Amino acid sequence: MSFIKSSSFNVLYTKDLLKTENFYNLIGAELLKSENHTTTVNIGDFSLHFVKSDSEPFEEYRFIANQESYGSGNIFYIEVSEIEEFLVLVQKAGGIIKSQIKDNHWECREFLFEDPNGYKFAAYQ
């Protein structure tokens, strides 16, 4: 058994697809696909597939689309080349800064933020 890299991805839900697209565009993510109820952005080596929460067609997935569970227990790590510039981009894009830039335990500098949906990120250099 092995994992198929080209077929593995993350699905996240959003109440406001346009706000989500705008945020990720402003922080420099690559917009890969945008349709009426989904958008896909690429950040470094991974893609985030956002689905408009009220458009989830499958009953068994609707508990995940519940806005109260957005961002619970997950954190996405993004390596950036200029952490100070990226912090400014996140702030200007409407991200919520949860910690200022600091030295972490593995000899990198990082800060924590949330996107407009409440998903958690650590940006590091």
Domains, the chain: 5-124 (3.10.180.10)
Q: Where are the beta strands (DSSP E) in 7-63?
A: 10-14, 30-34, 38-43, 46-52
Q: What is the DSSP letter of 82?
A: -
Average pLDDT estimate for 15-32: 95
Question: Residues of the chain with pLDDT > 70: what percent?
Answer: 92
Higher pLDDT, 4 or 115: 115
Q: Where are the beta strands (DSSP E) in the chain?
A: 10-14, 30-34, 38-43, 46-52, 76-79, 96-103, 109-114, 120-124
Give pTM, 2 decimals. Answer: 0.84
Assess whether pLDDT exceeds 90 at residue 67. Answer: no
